[in-house]
Chains A and B, each alone.
Chain A
Amino acid sequence: MKRLINDPYDVVEEMLEGYVLAHKDYVTLITEGEAQGRVVLSKTAKKKDKVGVIIGGGSGHEPLFLGYVGKGFADAAVVGNINTSPSPDPCYATAKAVNTGKGCIYLYGNYAGDVMNFDMGAEKADEEDGIRVETVTVTDDVISSENIEDRRGIAGMFFVFKSASAKADLGGDLDEVVAAAQKCNSVTRTMGVAMSSATLPSKGGPIFEMEDGDMEIGMGIHGEPGVRRGKIEPADRVVDQIMEPILADLPFAKGDEVYVLVNSLGATPILDLHICFRRVAQILKEKGITIYKSLVGSFASSMDMAGMSVTLVRLDDELKELLDYPCDAPYFTQV
């Protein structure tokens, strides 16, 4: 394992300690009470009378979730152990910390553990404090299931978080923020490829075995096995295999306008990502689909996994407005 850590049992706490020191102008850590030191709170939270936007999930996907806590973006992130949902009390504490009386929204990837814990947090917020909390789970990974509601959430979470956060900052009520998140989720599609396993600090080695030189199409960001394993192929050929299921799924059609994200899972260089992006752009041009804007970088990782994913979001005027809305968070700022 080539990782810079101390005791594997301390990785999350030590990361959070460093994170709030490094980004002290943006965030603080709630250490007391039910938050259990697992809530990253924006310094702008509750500064405005608006719906509270709460994102969260397991650690090991940085800059996801905590990197998107800031002005005009999420108000707080709930932080779990590596690849593991946070527990109910920190989810509950976060709702209390960001609620201005307009209610809150939980946004996270669609995983069984996250659903159980966040739901218990929401129930507690309702029962003990009368805070209304609504939930939208992100389901952008096209290959993870035939049924959209069973799909898991991966890099496309970024866009859903961004849309809902902008809607809340613009003064939308809770129903409108939920609708914005659902709308963005319904037109966001992602698929990835992995070429190595992430290493688990607790194990001191890879989560799963992968022959050097192999790739796995469709692998999830926790290393959940994908649909097909084979030898690594040239970038264009890999992108072709990813783009085909994405385009066919929504489906994206001639005349559509899209936001594109080519995302590194951790270890794939920016050089490679742009080679992949170039192919994505070629395919979209052939299909008559216009690229509105693009992001290329690491937005949702799996620690040191080699691999990348492509996300497309089909846009309309409302989604453009929300995704273009200014925000300032440690890992995403736009004016």
Chain B
Amino acid sequence: MSEYILNKDYFIKVIEDLAVLAEEKKDYFSELDSAIGDGDHGMNLSIGFREVSKNLDSWKSEDISTLFKNVGTALLDKVGGASGPLYGGFFMKFGLPVKGKEEVTFDEFIEMMETGVAIIEKRGKAKVGDKTMVDTLRPAVDALKAAYVDEKLAPKEAMKKAAEVGSAGSDSTIPIIAKKGRAMRLGERAIGHRDPGSASSTAILAIFYNNMP
């Protein structure tokens, strides 16, 4: 069996789909944020990915690492708030393990995911159970590693599992109080509401999965 490869076209398609997601789910993410935050999560992702879309054609000749560095920088610069440093940081670091490459192995892909999620945890100072996007991303990346490395699942099956675990992680934010972000100040009143960052992270993982060959 030849080695499983994710090429640049895959990553470009992922970025294009992320931009579509940011427009289509703008109101949904903002509604979630209205319940326990300040209602801007959808708008912020939309502002960020509009900037990405505007420039994506001119980035397509770059290697994967630079491509994502550009995506991350655009989000960081245009969005601000918490989403800017978190998602901006994720994409800026995402390509770091594969500098100069035009395609990556699945092992490298897992390393990219780990690097990206680690910066979100560091910058947001959040742990699983804090009712943040980390509740989706950390279990998803751990499940990805376990499924591929330990359980020897095929790459796409492993990513499917990661996306499912991430989605369950988002569900797990509903019945809990928040320990980070603006929802933290709500105490018990945050119970019953899904964390908007965990919802957008779940949708992002689904896009990584859906586009896999």
Contact = CB atoms under 8 A, between A and B. Distances in A.
Given A81-B44, A203-B39, A150 B185 contact: yes
A118 B46 CA distance: 22
Interface string B169-195: 000000000001110111001000000
A36 interface: yes
Interface string B25-42: 011001000111111101
Contact of A117 (B27, B37, B80, B124): B80
Contact of B80 (A86, A152, A202): A86
A292 B35 CA distance: 40
Interface residues of B, number: 37
A80 interface: yes
Contact of B77 (A89, A144, A145): A89
Question: Looking at chain B's contact residues, is the secondary structure mostly helix, strand, loop, or mixed?
Answer: helix
A116 B185 contact: no
B34 to A, nearest CB: 5
A52 interface: no
Contacts of B123: 116
Interface string A64-99: 000000000000000011111111110000000000
Contacts, number: 111
A207 B81 contact: no
A7 B43 CA distance: 13
Contact of A223 (B38, B88, B181): B38
Interface string A203-215: 1000110000000
A152 B84 CA distance: 20
Nearest to B84: A87
A97 B143 CA distance: 47
Interface in A125-150: 144-145, 150
A91 to B, nearest CB: 9
A222 B182 contact: yes
Contacts of B37: 222, 224
B161 interface: no
Given A117-B84, A224-B186, A225-B186, A84 B181 contact: no
A208 B150 CA distance: 46
B79 interface: yes
A329 interface: no
Nearest to B41: A84
Interface in B83-128: 83-86, 88, 123-124
Contacts of B39: 83, 200, 203, 207-208, 222-223
B138 interface: no
B182 A81 contact: no
Given A112-B124, A223-B39, A84 B185 contact: no
B20 interface: no
Contacts of A83: 38-40, 81
Given A84-B79, A208-B35, A112 B180 contact: yes
Interface in B36-58: 36-40, 42-44, 46-47, 50
A87 B80 contact: yes
Interface in A225-278: 225
A81 B81 contact: yes
Which one of B37, B38, B46, B80 has the greatest number of beta carbons of chain A within 10 Å? B80
B50 A113 contact: no
Give me the 4 closest cross-chain CB pairs, A-B, nearest first: A222-B38, A84-B81, A113-B82, A113-B81
26 contacts: A9-B50, A81-B40, A81-B44, A81-B47, A83-B39, A84-B40, A85-B80, A85-B81, A88-B85, A112-B82, A112-B182, A113-B81, A113-B85, A116-B82, A116-B124, A117-B84, A120-B85, A145-B184, A200-B39, A202-B40, A202-B42, A203-B43, A220-B38, A223-B34, A224-B37, A224-B38
